Amino acid sequence: MRLGGNLFARLLPDAAVECCDDLFGNRAARIERIVSLGQATPEGEWLDQDRDEWVVLLQGAAKLQFADEISPRTMRPGDWVAIAAHVRHRVAWTEPQAATVWLAVHISVDAAA
């Protein structure tokens, strides 16, 4: 199998909807590119995922908050974070004027053992 592409190709950010593209996946892991333009997790809502996640910010700016933290973490290009399965978190803010590009690797909890 040969797959390829460019993470910055076809960046068409839309303020109405965040764009999520699966780049590769199998039973153990899934790699996803996310393009945000001002999107955030609705206030009072938290993400709680079944898989571990490793995410890096490639372009733009964002604020990521964990339920056990008082204030969000500011993320800039190159910043990454590992999020264990079922750790509640939310995207508090993304840059509204330019595309924020994330690369997320979702890892099956069974595969991580």
Q: Please list the pLDDT of the chain residue by residue as tens digits (113 residues).
A: 677 899 998 887 777 889 999 999 999 999 999 999 999 999 999 999 999 999 999 999 999 999 999 999 999 999 999 999 999 999 999 999 999 999 999 999 876 55
CATH superfamily of 28-112: Jelly Rolls (2.60.120.10)
pTM across the whole model: 0.88
Contacts of 88 (CB under 8 A, 6+ apart): 46, 47, 48, 66, 67
Q: How many C-beta atoms lie closer than 10 Å to residue 109's C-beta?
A: 13
Q: How many C-beta atoms lie closer than 10 Å to residue 67's C-beta?
A: 11
Asked if 37 and 19 count as a contact pair (C-beta separation under 8 A), the reply is no
